[in-house]
Amino acid sequence: MREIKEELVQRLATLYPGDAASLCELSFEGPFQLAVATILSAQCTDRIVNSVTEALFGLFPDAKSLAGADLGRVETLIRPTGFYRNKAQNIVSFSRELVERYDGEVPDTIDRLVELSGVGRKTANVIVTVGFSKPGIAVDTHVIRLSGRLGLTEFTDPERIEMDLLGWLAPLDAAAFGLRLILHGRRVCSARKPKCEACPLGDICPSFSTL
Ligand code: SF4
User: Could you tell me if 34 and 10 lie in one domain?
Assistant: no
Q: What percent of the chain has pLDDT over 90?
A: 96
For the CA of 188, the nearest atom of ligand 1: 7
CATH number of the domain that 67 lies in?
Answer: 1.10.340.30
Do 81 and 32 fall within a single domain?
yes
Q: What is the residue range of 95's domain?
A: 23-131
Could you tell me if the CB of 179 is within 6 A of ligand 1? no
Residues 48 and 70 in one domain: yes
Residue 162 exposed, middle or buried by CB count within 10 Å (0-12, 13-18, 19+): buried
Whether residue 102 is found in the same domain as residue 31: yes
Q: What is the pLDDT of residues 35-71, one digit of tens each?
A: 999 999 999 999 999 999 999 999 999 999 999 999 9
Pair (87, 149) in one structural domain: no
Does the C-beta of 205 come closer than 6 Å to ligand 1? yes
99 contact partners, CB below 8 Å, separation of at least 6: 63, 64, 67
Predicted local distance difference test score (pLDDT) of residue 172: 83
What is the reported pLDDT for 210? 83
Structural domain count of the chain: 2
Regions of the chain where pLDDT drops below 50? none
Count, in order, helices (H) and strands (E) of the chain. 12, 0
